[in-house]
Structure 1
Amino acid sequence: MKTGLQKNNSKKEMLHTNRSSDIQEFYRNKSVFLTGGSGFLGKVFIEKTLRATEAKRIYILIRPKKGQTVEERIDVMFKDPLFTELNRIKPTARTRLAPILGDCLLPNLGISSTDRQTLIDEVQIVMHGAATVRFNEPLHHALAINVRATMDLIQLAKKMVKLQAFVHVSSAFANCTVFHNDEIYYTNELNMTAESMCKVADLLGPDKTNRMTNEWCGKSPNTYTFTKALAEEAVLNQGQGLPICIFRPGIVIPTYREPVVGWVDNLYGPMSILYGVAHGVLRVLYIHLDANANFVPVDMCANLMLVSAAQTAKTVKQSPTEPPTIYNFVPDERNMLKWDTYRRTLEEFAPKMPLTNMIWYPFAIVVKSKRLYNILILLYHIIPGYIFDFLLLLMGKKRRMIKMYDKIHKQTAVLDYFVENKFTFTMNNTLKLFHSLSSIDQSLFNFDMLAINWYEYFYNSLLGVRRFMGNEEPDTIPKARQLWQRLLILHRTVQLIVYGGISALLSWTFLRVFHVL
């Protein structure tokens, strides 16, 4: 078993040789405009583009945040371990990144006239990755970011005199009202167009629009999937004449290989479950273990974005009247990942690399009945939460457990639709694209989901979560194992007391009844 956080030196050495690569040649001296560059996928895309290609410039849409200027935010980004290798081999790469001050919440993305003209004159490739990924985002807000910004960017792209490719990052679950998704459009599932929905939202205003969320979303389970589906409709009908395609990734999770194995910078989705269980907080999971876990490594997503742009630039010239190509990206059906595989590998590896800040012995009870789940969270979350908060109160500390559990339960509740329904996908376009690459480009820009060893991948992901989210290096594992042993003894003791008490109560009740009889 590999250590997981070691660099894949052979692959990196290959990346920086002078061997011929069609994809590298396509990006040579070109300018890219990226939205969503400060997000999880955006950062990986920036790092890979700067490290693996000689792109002239990456313009990124970015805004000041939390008291930091855009330049300060970029400086902080480049100090992340994700960029360590890039900073080592290409110390001037930072100069190829140019901020464009803007905000997807604002009309025309909040871009100044001067910056708009720069983009119009210079950009050959657009990568639209900006989105709000919160499932329960207020509808008016989600429409502004996920739909209106997409339409505004399409109109801006139509003015770009050098444009060769536009990649719109959607989601494999954008059309989740359909349980088998082909690489086609599902506009018939919508009750209106993107343009008309935005016009109605403008007329109604935020409060009225948000109050009518259920009516507008229809069969869509949340505002995220509804607005992502609307954005796809905008690409299809407003993107006519553009060299444009749609990339639909599954649930994006830590890096598979590069530039650092297991890198992650957020605790969304599966990683939040993983960290919650490892921390000893999350103890009951509502999951159907036989369902497909449609996870995709973030570095493979960045690679497919780069390759799909190059392919779009070539194929749209040949067939300009065809609908924009869609690339679904989920685990290969010949190497399918089930939630049960995810659970079993984590059960095996978690005790070998626990956290040093666990609050309780980590364990998880998996159920597929919502009614049973609600009973168990009362027993394993709510009641222990009140007990823990009471102890904190006695120690003069701030109570936090019930508030935290309330947040966890609200977040997990929005996933019920995806737990209760099974989704399958075709990936014909994606597989065809990969097999059309030269062997060099298949290696340099790998997105072959068939080749993933899921057993090894989750081992590396666990190490990555410890290091990048828990700030715990591998040398802390011995100390964490000692804590794990102590918490195990405490956990078994509590179980003995509780189960013993229940047994005694039942025995006493039985004897009383028997005595009465």
Structure 2
Amino acid sequence: MNAEMQASSGNEHIRSEVQEFYRNKSVFLTGGSGFLGKVFIEKILRATDVKCVYILMRPKKGQTVEERIETMIKSPLFAELIKLKPTASERLVPIAGDCQLSNLGISPTDRQTLIDEVEIVMHSAATVRFNEPLSNAVAINVRATMDLMQLAKKMRKLQAFVHVSSAFANCTVFHIDEVFYNNELNISAENLCKIADLLGPEKMNRMTNEWLGKSPNTYTFTKALAEDAVLSEGKELPICLFRPGIVIPTYKEPVAGWVDNLYGPMSVLYGVAHGVIRVLFIHLDANANFAPVDMCVNMMLVSAWNTAKREKPTISLPPPIYNFVPDERNMLKWDTYRQTLEEQVPKMPLSKMIWYPFAIIVNSKSLYNILILIYHIIPGYIFDFLLLLIGKKRRMIKTYTKLHKQIAVLDYFVEHKFTFSMRNTNNLWDSLGSADQNLFNFNLREINWPDYFQASLMGVRCFMGRDQPETIPKARKLLTRLLILHRTVQILVYGGLCVLLSWTFFRFSKVL
């Protein structure tokens, strides 16, 4: 019986339609050095027999593109891949280029190679900084998308093009369906690129507020414009649009909790665990629209396969769109995130905390501003003064200034509540056979969110804090000492306030 089940499972694995689709295919990936791009590279090399992956990359910090790829492969993310397929990295082909440059800065020789060989395009390159200067954001997020689509139209073997957008690209709408919202824009992608050429970066940046309209920042504005470009320029292409929510650490693959950045909620989690962030402005009953990065990658791989299966695109039909956030069948609230912080941080504290970790959560912006003065700014000045006394460089106020600026750009998304429809995404999942559902899992309904966040916290601890599990006993001892210090300070402060109030009351009563 067991032998039969194993044989059946093996045959099912062989019959994976998605795996078979990628066999001997040539893929062109932009954004390969980013968080999403790295996980995509690892997964496609480990789970498929892809022929090669062309990676658009620019030299950086004195490293050539070849050296950057070599460094990337040494990451813990790729350990399982190298163990299973020691020569897998040989299928990575660097393409020198830069999304800020015209035609992506690709040489004529490399362009011809891509035209002749590429069958699948994965466009994930973008600047994700909310406060990016408008001229840069337009160049990277909009013009590069338009240039890539023009290149794709020349690709002789092209079967699928996946454009990675964002669930919040159209954040001026609060219920987001799997449709285009170009009517929310005050200008088209093509026209804004023309104006950017005429005005130049300096004048363009000075007019940022005029161009943004209702959009809260340059990131969402230019991602919405990129969607407009896909609608207007991509109709002749076998193209689809993927809108992930806030991309967070891996769910399971190739290792649970892997992360290489401190953007978004992970920066908050790390800041609280480090004892630096003590006040948060959050509506706990709002949906936390997160998407684990490995599930995002699986969704990209499957959506390309599904796009290639479709009939030849017609100009009358817009490209399909896939929203990707938790839905009502396994909805995630910010309160779940809060509970995880409270329960798990004491179990696996960092070994380099500066204070006992705690977080006061408020949903009033006025109260938040008062509390950051009490819990961030004043302690920051005290901490800097102590550092000055012992001859060390002051850093806390500088850190808080930077943190508060980063957190402030999220205010719009905290103050508004968003809902999404996921019809196309759910239908795509339901259309998969069991083999592909196992190999390319993007079913957000199956995630146990508290367990997931526990693994994420351990991942942030290991991969960003460079704290291995064996340091936890030592960290718990530090946590105990910091708790004693924290309670001592509370007693002194509250006791001092009580004495001051009592003395003031006594003096006032005596005068009367």
> Which TM-score band applies after superposition, normalised by the shorter structure?
over 0.9
Partner in structure 1 of residue 253 of structure 2: 258
CA gap 1:318/1:227 in 2 versus in 1, 3 angstroms: closer
Aligned match for 1:339, one of 317, 334, 342: 334
2:502 maps to which residue?
507
AA in 1 matched with 2:410: L
TM-score by length of 1: 0.96
Tell me the distance in 1 between the aligned counterparts of 2:311 and 2:91: 28
1:350/1:147 Cα in 2 relative to 1: closer, same or farther (>3 Å)?
Answer: same
Alignment of 1:183-222 (within 5 A): 183-222=178-217
C-alpha deviation, 1:317, in angstroms: 2.7
1:67 maps to 2:62: yes
Could you tell me which residue of structure 2 aligns to residue 407 of structure 1?
402
The corresponding residue for 1:468 is 463
Given candidates 347, 350, 361, the residue that maps to 1:366 is 361
Counterpart CA distance in 1 for 2:327 and 2:444 is 6
1:126 aligns with 2:121: yes
Q: Deviations 1:440-499 (Å, cap 9, x if unpaired)?
A: 000100000000000110110011011000111111100000000000000000000000
- Cα deviation for residue 191 of structure 1 reads 0.6
**What is the distance in 1 between the residues matched to 2:440 and 2:330?**
20
Alpha carbons of structure 1 residues 15 and 223: separation in structure 2 relative to 1, 3 Å: farther
Residue 153 of structure 2 corresponds to 158
Flag the 1:316–1:399 CA change in 2: closer, same or farther, 3 A.
Answer: farther
What amino acid sits opposite 1:516 in the alignment? V
Describe the shift of the 1:59–1:47 C-alpha distance in structure 2 as closer, same or farther (beyond 3 A).
same
**1:329 matches 2:324:** yes
Pairs within 5 Å for 1:349-360: 349-360=344-355
Matches within 5 A, 1:40-189: 40-189=35-184
CA distance in 1, matches of 2:11, 2:150: 37
Counterpart secondary structure, 1:351: coil
Q: Which of 264, 271, 280 is the matching residue for 1:276? A: 271
Q: Offset of 1:332 from its aligned partner?
A: 2.2
* Cα drift, residue 52 of structure 1: 0.3
Q: Distance in 2 between matches of 1:252 and 1:422?
A: 18
1:417 paired to 2:388: no
**Aligned equivalents of 1:237, 1:476: Cα separation in 2:** 54
Shift, 1:318, TM fit: 7.2
CA distance in 1, matches of 2:61, 2:454: 34
Matched residues, number: 504
Q: Runs ≥4 in structure 1, deviation > 6 angstroms?
A: 14-17
Letter of the structure 2 residue corresponding to residue 434 of structure 1: W
Could you tell me which residue of structure 2 aligns to residue 429 of structure 1? Answer: 424
Residue matched to 1:8: none
RMSD: 1.2
Deviation, structure 1 residue 316: 3.9
Letter in 2 for 1:292: N
Distance between the aligned counterparts of 1:18 and 1:302, measured in 2? 19
Bigger shift: 229-238 or 308-317? 308-317
Residue 322 of structure 1 and its aligned partner are, at CA, apart by: 1.8
**Secondary structure in 2 matching 1:58:** strand
Amino acid at match of 1:281: V
Q: Which runs of 5+ in 2 are unaligned?
A: 1-8
CA apart distance, 1:19:
2.3
Long gaps (5+) in structure 1: 1-13
How many Å separate the matches in 1 of 2:111 and 2:459?
39
- 3-state DSSP of counterpart to 2:291: strand
**Residue identity matched to 1:427:** M
Letter in 1 for 2:112: Q
Match for residue 473 of structure 2 among 455, 478, 483: 478
Per-residue CA shift, 1:233-287, capped at 9, x if unaligned?
0000011210000000000000001100110000000000000000000011111
Kept after mapping to 1: 8 A contact 2:241/2:321: yes
Equivalent AA in structure 1 for residue 432 of structure 2: L
Aligned residues with identical type, % of pairs: 76
- Does 1:386 find its partner at 2:381? yes
Asked whether the equivalents of residues 16 and 52 of structure 1 are also in contact (C-alpha less than 8 Å), the reply is no
What letter matches 1:33 in structure 2?
F
Instruction: Select between 107-116 and 506-515 the one with higher mean Cα deviation.
Output: 506-515
SS of aligned partner of 2:295: helix
Match of 2:26 among 17, 28, 31: 31
Partner-residue secondary structure (3-state), 2:335? helix
Task: Give the direction of change, closer, same or farther, for the CA distance of 1:266–1:17 in structure 2 (3 Å limit).
Answer: farther
Paired residues of 1:329 and 1:427 also in contact (CA < 8 A): yes
Task: Find the aligned partners of 2:101 and 2:341 in 1 and give their Cα distance.
Answer: 42
- Post-superposition offset of 1:320: 6.7
Give, in whole Å, the separation in 1 of the partners of 2:63 and 2:479: 39
Q: Secondary structure at the match of 2:53?
A: strand
SS in 2 for 1:352: coil
